[in-house]
Amino acid sequence: MARLKDKLYDKIERERPRVNKLLKEYGDVIMDEVTIAQVLGGMRGIKCLVTDISYLDPQEGIRYRGFTLPEVFEKLPKPKGAEMPYVEGLFYLLLMGEIPDDKDVEELQDEFSKRRVLPRYVYEVIDAFPCCSHPMTIFSSAIMTMQRESFFAKKYRGGISKFEYWDSTYEDALNLLAKLPELATYIYAKLYRDGKRIQSNPDLDFGGNFAHMMGKDKPYDDVSRLHFIIHADHEAGNVSAHAGHLVASSLSDIYLAISAMINGLAGPLHGLANQEVLRWLLELYDKMEGKEPTEEEMKQFVWDTLNAGQVIPGYGHAVLRKTDPRYTIQREFALKHMPEDKLFKYVDMLYRVVPDILRQQGKAKNPWPNVDAQSGQIQWHYGVQEYDFYTVLFGIGRAIGICANIIWDRALLYPLERPKSITTEMVEAIAFKKNAKRSKKEIAD
């Protein structure tokens, strides 16, 4: 992969002085103020992470390397006859910050193809899992099992300069990403298809090969490309991205970091929400015996969930304050390909009723749908109905973005992450001291 790696090296050489200058000449500049509510509230909104791979605007949604999602879908090269672009092209964009040409994508496709074969022991590890293990647990563990292949770990043990860390990290990232479709589809085959796996086809692209190994016809190849691309990154502070970055910052290799990233994604407030949406929708579907509910019935179902002290899965967001563009893109796909699908009609009706209800309830800062409100229904439509598997699909996409992030973390020599914690007593001391000042000022006023 000389061409991409050479280009990446040139870019790294150009980027390093920017970070050095900021550190050396502007290191004392204050960037943010932090309130007690932010510290006790999951660090919401504190500006303390840096990534150039993506940026999330609360109103507009995600941009990958400065491109909105509609721009990404319009500009990236597509396989012949396909509606959706190459996943390989997206990886190139995230890594390099430029739209690749056909040759760039072809080279990357070739590179993934050469690295795609899973070591034998990975199948054995998956086979050995006890029944009822969640697919995300198997996915994470299988990635961990391959840690012994880490090129970075071997190089580090042999002794290398920190300026070379990115190189073996890059090799690990490509080796791991290339294997994820085969790994995930084997987990699917093992759990839901009596272990009958379909051999990969080295001539197909990342998304096409995934669809092939899932045993799905067109347009599931486009569904896969769409799914992996929209899930790739959501700036640095979400749980999965942050977990990946945090673990990698101790110079743990890609296998350890991506496994940690997958573990963070497996929580119901994050990636597992796509599974929860389907589970919740099917509860109503069963109750209605497949009939379309009236808006009143749907509203009641939503209120019942809220009144039971549960969240509405697929709605709300820690940063976004508008409908997630990842939801909109999938909705447009569904409107084009499956407007009459019964479950799509449920999803569509939820879009009409949930935001008003959440506003009436008055708790959620963002009443609009996020990516997970729509993704599972599309999978369901194409026959992937084992909804416990949906977060694995999310994980494949997210690994693409996090690998690009970790390569750049190493390239720019970002250090071990180590924020400071204090005790509740110390927080109280800060709070009461500030309040004492405020009271004095209020009296003076």
Q: Point out which residues bind ligand HAX (CB under 6 A).
A: 238, 269-271, 273, 306, 311-318, 363-366, 370-372
Query: 312 or 399: whose CB is closer to ligand HAX?
Result: 312
Q: Of 270, 324, 381, 409, which residue is the catalytic one?
A: 270
| Residue at 112: amino acid letter | F
Closest CA to 346 of 380, 318, 371: 380
Asked if residues 267 and 439 have their Cβ atoms less than 8 Å apart, the reply is no
**270 a catalytic residue:** yes
203 φ, ψ (degrees, to nearest 5) = -85, -10
Report, in Å, the least distance between residue 341 CB and ligand HAX: 21
3-state secondary structure of 285: helix
- Cβ distance to ligand HAX smaller for residue 213 or 272: 272
Residue 61: strand pairing partners = 57
Candidate list 104, 222, 253, 372, residue with the active-site label: 372
Q: What's the closest the beta carbon of residue 62 comes to ligand HAX, in angstroms?
A: 11
CB 254 within 8 A of CB 176: yes
Instruction: Give the position of tokens 């496994």.
Output: 259
DSSP per-residue string spanning 371-435: THHHHHHHHHHTT---GGGHHHHHHHHHHHHHHHHHHHHHHTT----------HHHHHHHHHHHH
Catalytic residue among 231, 234, 317, 381: 317
Please report how close the Cβ of residue 238 comes to ligand HAX at its closest, in angstroms: 6
Q: Which of 280, 291, 240, 230 is nearest to 263 (CA)?
A: 240
Q: How far is the CB of 41 from ligand HAX (least distance, A)?
A: 7
Which letter does DSSP use for residue 48 in this model? -
**Residue closer to ligand HAX (CB basis): 18 or 321:** 321
Between 219 and 313, CB nearer to ligand HAX: 313
Q: How far apart are CA 359 and CA 369, in angstroms?
A: 13
| Structure-token pair, residue 399 | 């690994």
Smallest separation (angstroms) from ligand HAX to the CB of 175: 26
d(CA 56, CA 320): 8
The whole-angstrom separation of Cα 131 and Cα 256 is 24
HSE at residue 227, side-chain half, CA atoms within 13 A, is 29
Phi, psi dihedrals of residue 32, rounded to the nearest 5°: -160, 160
Minimum gap (Å) between residue 309 Cβ and ligand HAX: 9
Q: Report which residue's Cβ sits closest to ligand HAX.
A: 316
Q: In whole angstroms, how close is the CB of 276 to ligand HAX at the nearest point?
A: 7
- Cα 65 to Cα 233: distance, rounded to the nearest angstrom: 10
Nearer residue to ligand HAX within complex by CB, 108 or 364:
364
Tokens at 185, concatenated: 């589809």
For ligand HAX, give the closer residue by CB, 200 or 274: 274
Nearer to ligand HAX, 91 or 327 (CB): 327
Quick one: CA dihedral 103, 107, 108, 110, positive or negative?
positive
Q: What SS3 class is residue 64? A: strand
372 carries an active-site annotation: yes
CB of 132 vs ligand HAX, minimal distance in Å:
24
Strands (E), 246-395: none
Query: Toward ligand HAX, which CB reaches closer, 116 or 317?
Result: 317
Active site residues: 270, 317, 372
